Chain A
Amino acid sequence: MASPAETPHELGVIHDIGFRHYTGPRLGRDYLLRSLYGESLKGAYGLGRSAKSKVLPFLLLAVMVLPALIIAVVAGATNADKLPVAYSRYAINLSVVISVYLASQSPASVSRDLRFRVMPLYFSRPLSRNDYVLAKFAAMASALFIVMGTPLLVLYVGALLDKLSFWTQTRGFVGALIGISLLSALLSAIGLLIASITPKRGFGVAAVITVLILLSLVSASLQQVALNRNNDSLSGYFGLISPFGLVDSVQAWVLSEHRPRGTVPPGATGGVVALFVTLAVIATCYSLLILRYRKVSAS
């Protein structure tokens, strides 16, 4: 069917090989969403882009995975009876790497379409503005899930090869996957909202990293003040200011895990509050993102 395509040609000369009209199916909303999701997810790792844009995402992925590999190997070599780090704490401990990934890739996803004014090409097609936001959000969350999930998988496989207790390991692994799902959604909503405000990639990167660092700093400082006054409960609640502390508080409650004093809000109440705040922040940022794209010009 593609035989006319093989006609030899000279450079710059238009040969009349005829135009074939398309009579096949034109697929609907689900397909458009899937296509944009797939393209954006690939883009978050620089696939289908220039070689330069692959460097950072894969470097950060390597930085995420390397400690897990070392931990698994060392645990095996020393015949440890458990991993030195809890699955649920792994992403929280590497929050800086995850922040850098989000800061670099959320502008690459949405600021790019604004900067190069690609939006009119999407808007002049059947995809709706809300579906654009949905696909971009899902892609960013999936990209983050891969960044955080891959090292967990390495840890889990390593732990099983080290012949650690299957049930304990599986429980910790699956629990942590739920945690990073929540964290992926939360960070994506925040990162994309900030990045969508500016078409300038550099500003986007700086804004996202600044917001994440600022939230962590404010959270840590207030916690310190509360701890100095021996108010552990208040200190725990201050932990909710940082997105990483917020999700860790949910994890600690849901997985009934122990955390050092004053890092997470106490008891079931604290857990419920943390979960509620997490979902509320995701919903708010997502709604603002939808509103933001109502305002994006179609030309």
Chain B
Amino acid sequence: MMISIGDLTKRYGPVTALDHLSFEIQPGIVGLVGANGAGKSTLIKILLGLLPATSGRAHVLGLDVTTEGPQIRQRVGYMPEHDCLPADVSATDFVLHLARMSGLPMSAARERTADTLRHVGLYEERYRAIGGYSTGMKQRVKLAQALVHDPGMLLLDEPTNGLDPAGRDQMLELLRRIGTDFGIPMLVTSHLLGELEQICDHVVVVDGGRLLRSSATADVTSASRIIAVEVDERADELAAVLRSGGLTVHPAGRQLEIELLGDATYDAVRDAVANLGLGLLRMERRRHRMAEIFRVDPSLAYGEGSPDGVAR
């Protein structure tokens, strides 16, 4: 179990930041979604053992946050939401220093700093002072310092914050690589559900400190009975041919949405495209988008307690 939380409550005076939160998640790429002020950052601080919970229990990598904070902090990498980089040092010097502050001996720290900065996509510029970096580069340095000591788990607070769409996609791809290729599990927070569905195995949704949903992305965005097809030209002719073959076809922008009856449907589309001499640009099975699901199912919006409680 990567993270296990039971009845976790945190109050700041009269304000309740976390309200009897319970969930358990297996290692993987886990999204923690909620609006600003939903309690995401509070939860991360509790998981790091930096903030005592008012009541309840929480375990990270099997370690108790109340008694084993130092051990957790040695094994976890944390990327804060806000700026946290001094302007007057180079990325190399800064990440090297923080690698040592995680207990890595000098030679290992040097080697891993160079490796990690390359993995996050910083090359020659890593010798320049951080003050001159773009937001995208700074986010990469922040990620590098969380990754440099090869943590057993990453806690990433809004890693795509402040990035333009291209930078956002690059960051998400980087996180996906770290999670799947490097095999480092992570908890990623975001206030945008849409971007997390691209990379997460599991999504936890919180609002006002309460759990709205905790479930595997595969359940949420399971494959639908629709395939999307895109051809280079004469889409209407293709639609006509397919309809005459007994298939249900809806034009959707540049694409055609075709109801999937079985594997034969794929063959029918392939043959129809080939017979018309068209170029097939895309044929894929549609997935439900998570955002649609949360939108269409009102019971998920503000249900009392948790809709499906502890998932997995």
**Which residues from chain A contact B73 at a C-beta distance below 8 Å?**
124-126
Contact B51 A32 (CB under 8 A): no
In the complex, whether A11 has a CB less than 8 A from a CB of chain B is: yes
Contact A16 B74 (CB under 8 A): no
Interface range, A side:
35 or more
Contact A35 B174 (CB under 8 A): no
Q: A5-B115, A118-B84, A126-B102 are in contact. Are A22 and B78 (CB under 8 A)?
A: no
**Which residues from chain A contact B112 at a C-beta distance below 8 Å?**
22
Determine the distance from Cα of A295 to Cα of B174 in the docked complex, in whole angstroms.
35
Residue-wise interface mask of B (66-84) relative to A, using a CB-CB cutoff of 8 A (1 in contact, 0 not): 0000100110101011111
**Which residues from chain A contact B111 at a C-beta distance below 8 Å?**
1-2, 5
Q: A20-B115, A35-B100 are in contact. Are A112 and B86 (CB under 8 A)?
A: yes
Q: Interface-forming stretch among A48-56, A168-176, A257-265?
A: A48-56
In the complex, whether B85 has a CB less than 8 A from a CB of chain A is: yes
Contact B86 A5 (CB under 8 A): no
In the complex, whether B182 has a CB less than 8 A from a CB of chain A is: yes
**Which residues from chain A contact B178 at a C-beta distance below 8 Å?**
19
| A139 → chain B closest CB, angstroms | 13
In the complex, whether B297 has a CB less than 8 A from a CB of chain A is: no
Residue-wise interface mask of B (246-279) relative to A, using a CB-CB cutoff of 8 A (1 in contact, 0 not): 0000000000000000000000000000000000
Q: A117-B83, A299-B45 are in contact. Are A28 and B98 (CB under 8 A)?
A: no
Q: A12-B121, A14-B121, A112-B86 are in contact. Are A299 and B80 (CB under 8 A)?
A: yes
In the complex, whether A268 has a CB less than 8 A from a CB of chain B is: no
Q: Is the interface of A mostly helix, strand, loop or mixed?
A: loop
**Which residues from chain B contact A21 at a C-beta distance below 8 Å?**
150
**Which residues from chain A contact B78 at a C-beta distance below 8 Å?**
120-121, 124
Determine the distance from Cα of A299 to Cα of B97 in the docked complex, in whole angstroms.
20
Q: A14-B174, A19-B119, A125-B101 are in contact. Are A49 and B84 (CB under 8 A)?
A: no
Contact A121 B98 (CB under 8 A): yes
A224-260 interface with B by 8 A CB criterion: none
In the complex, whether B7 has a CB less than 8 A from a CB of chain A is: no
Closest to A116 in B: B86
| A114 → chain B closest CB, angstroms | 11
In the complex, whether B210 has a CB less than 8 A from a CB of chain A is: no
**Which residues from chain A contact B82 at a C-beta distance below 8 Å?**
117, 299
Determine the distance from Cα of A25 to Cα of B93 in the docked complex, in whole angstroms.
21
In the complex, whether B213 has a CB less than 8 A from a CB of chain A is: no
Contact B93 A48 (CB under 8 A): yes
In the complex, whether A127 has a CB less than 8 A from a CB of chain B is: yes
**Which residues from chain B contact A14 at a C-beta distance below 8 Å?**
119, 121, 174, 177
Residue-wise interface mask of A (94-124) relative to B, using a CB-CB cutoff of 8 A (1 in contact, 0 not): 0000000000000000001100111011111
| B29 → chain A closest CB, angstroms | 15
Contact A35 B50 (CB under 8 A): no
In the complex, whether B12 has a CB less than 8 A from a CB of chain A is: no
Contact B88 A26 (CB under 8 A): no
Closest to B81 in A: A299
Q: A22-B150, A32-B101 are in contact. Are A120 and B119 (CB under 8 A)?
A: no
In the complex, whether B220 has a CB less than 8 A from a CB of chain A is: no
**Which residues from chain A contact B103 at a C-beta distance below 8 Å?**
25-28, 31-32, 126
Interface residues contributed by chain B, number (CB under 8 Å):
49
In the complex, whether B2 has a CB less than 8 A from a CB of chain A is: no
**Which residues from chain A contact B123 at a C-beta distance below 8 Å?**
9, 11-12
Contact A11 B124 (CB under 8 A): yes
In the complex, whether B301 has a CB less than 8 A from a CB of chain A is: no
Contact A121 B80 (CB under 8 A): yes
Determine the distance from Cα of A27 to Cα of B104 in the docked complex, in whole angstroms.
6
Closest to A21 in B: B150
Q: A50-B88, A126-B103 are in contact. Are A22 and B108 (CB under 8 A)?
A: yes
In the complex, whether B198 has a CB less than 8 A from a CB of chain A is: no
Determine the distance from Cα of A69 to Cα of B105 in the docked complex, in whole angstroms.
40
Residue-wise interface mask of B (31-74) relative to A, using a CB-CB cutoff of 8 A (1 in contact, 0 not): 00000000001000100101100000000000000000010011
In the complex, whether B129 has a CB less than 8 A from a CB of chain A is: yes
Q: A126-B74, A127-B101 are in contact. Are A22 and B149 (CB under 8 A)?
A: yes
CB-contact partner of A26 in B80, B149, B183, under 8 A: B149
In the complex, whether A289 has a CB less than 8 A from a CB of chain B is: no
In the complex, whether A84 has a CB less than 8 A from a CB of chain B is: no
**Which residues from chain B contact A212 at a C-beta distance below 8 Å?**
none
In the complex, whether A298 has a CB less than 8 A from a CB of chain B is: yes
Determine the distance from Cα of A18 to Cα of B84 in the docked complex, in whole angstroms.
28
Determine the distance from Cα of A112 to Cα of B83 in the docked complex, in whole angstroms.
13
CB-contact partner of B70 in A12, A31, A48, A126, under 8 A: A126
CB-contact partner of A120 in B70, B84, B177, under 8 A: B84
Determine the distance from Cα of A123 to Cα of B105 in the docked complex, in whole angstroms.
19
Q: A9-B123, A22-B104, A124-B73 are in contact. Are A298 and B87 (CB under 8 A)?
A: no
5 pairs across A/B with beta carbons < 8 Å?
A: A5-B114, A124-B78, A126-B74, A298-B48, A299-B82
**Extra A-B contacts (9), CB below 8 Å, given A9-B123, A124-B50:** A12-B121, A19-B182, A31-B103, A39-B100, A112-B86, A117-B83, A124-B76, A125-B98, A298-B50
Which residues of B does A touch, CB under 8 Å? 41, 45, 48, 50-51, 70, 73-74, 76, 78, 80-89, 93, 97-98, 100-105, 108, 111-112, 114-115, 118-119, 121, 123-124, 129, 145, 149-150, 174, 177-178, 181-183
Going nearest first, the 10 A-B pairs with the smallest beta carbon separation are A22-B150, A124-B78, A26-B103, A19-B182, A35-B100, A298-B50, A116-B86, A27-B103, A126-B74, A126-B70
